[in-house]
Copies of this chain bind each other. A is one copy, B any other.
Amino acid sequence: MLVIKVGGSEGIDYEVVCDDLAMLVRAGRRMVLVHGGSFRTNEVATALGHPPHFVTSPSGYTSRYTDRATLKIFEMVYCGEMNKGLVESLQQRDVNAIGLSGIDGRLWEGPRKQAIRAVANGRTRIIRDNLTGKVERVNTALLNALLDGGYLPVLTPPAISYDGEAINVDGDRAAAATAVALRATDLLILSNVPGVLRDFPDEASLIPDIAAADIDHVTQTNTAGRMRIKLLGAGEALAGGVARVVLGDARGDRPLQRALAGEGTVLRP
């Protein structure tokens, strides 16, 4: 079992990703795809007059401030344009993809954060209308039924809270929770960088291997915002029994096969 997360950042050619995915499907790999949509959400939100706003937690993690209006735009892009675009691209390659969000069939369930602390200009504020949370439960019965039926599940945030509210969750950590729940051997988290960089954005400073025990140390010294949360997700996956996480590059030819071959930053327990 293989879980693949392809990030929603700029510069990713999803047609190339789908070509590679179709090859793996034809080779008989049992897989789930998780995708993001952050870059396009920023564009659409700005075009609709509700520009994006990000908050940084005291521990240094950055996330999208998600009020109700933002959540609707988020769903338009993640569940509409991005998810159906990927499903269509895969269908054109004879992959019988099914796109689902975490609220469909309570696929990704977890607690909503009642309040978050956000740091700006050295001051900490409490934000209460933020529709965010994290995935604690994965509907593996639904995913396994779809996989057994020959479908490729294509999953996207939002998730659903225990109270039935749509909540924005981090896609990397949702992919990690999915990998753990499905007892995946491998989790690939691909974005628009080659992996974890010692000196971001110097791509020559790629760290090829990280042991689980060293993740905290690397996170503390790696200040590039998005990679911190990917490392957090990677650590959660390894702690939950996934044998290997690869933080790889979604750009260029055959990005999935290159990550499977160990290109990028490989993390092991």
The yes or no answer to A114 lying at the interface (CB within 8 A) is: no
CA distance A91 to B81 in the complex (A): 23
Please indicate the chain B residues that have their CB under 8 angstroms from the CB of A96 in the complex: 105-106
Q: Nearest CB to that of A48 among chain B residues? A: B47
Binds B, one of A71-79, A118-126, A185-193, A229-237: A71-79
The yes or no answer to A87 lying at the interface (CB within 8 A) is: yes
In the complex, what's the smallest C-beta–C-beta distance from A223 to chain B, in angstroms?
33
The yes or no answer to A103 lying at the interface (CB within 8 A) is: yes
The yes or no answer to A195 lying at the interface (CB within 8 A) is: no
On whether the beta carbons of A91 and B106 are closer than 8 Å, the reply is yes
CA distance A93 to B160 in the complex (A): 13
The yes or no answer to A60 lying at the interface (CB within 8 A) is: no
On whether the beta carbons of A87 and B72 are closer than 8 Å, the reply is no
Question: Copies per complex?
Answer: 2
The yes or no answer to A98 lying at the interface (CB within 8 A) is: yes
The 8 Å CB contact of A98, one of B76, B105, B166, is B105
Q: Nearest CB to that of A89 among chain B residues? A: B164
CA distance A76 to B45 in the complex (A): 12
Please indicate the chain B residues that have their CB under 8 angstroms from the CB of A88 in the complex: 103, 160, 164-166
In the complex, what's the smallest C-beta–C-beta distance from A199 to chain B, in angstroms?
38
Please indicate the chain B residues that have their CB under 8 angstroms from the CB of A65 in the complex: none
Please indicate the chain B residues that have their CB under 8 angstroms from the CB of A141 in the complex: 149
Interface of chain A residues 49 through 77 with chain B (CB within 8 A): 49, 72, 75-77
Interface of chain A residues 78 through 120 with chain B (CB within 8 A): 78-81, 83-85, 87-88, 91-94, 96-101, 103-106
Q: Nearest CB to that of A158 among chain B residues? A: B84
The yes or no answer to A145 lying at the interface (CB within 8 A) is: yes
Given contacts A84-B103, A88-B103, A100-B100, 19 further A-B contacts (CB under 8 A): A44-B48, A44-B76, A47-B48, A48-B48, A75-B84, A76-B80, A78-B80, A84-B166, A93-B164, A94-B164, A96-B106, A97-B105, A98-B105, A98-B142, A99-B100, A99-B101, A99-B103, A105-B151, A142-B151
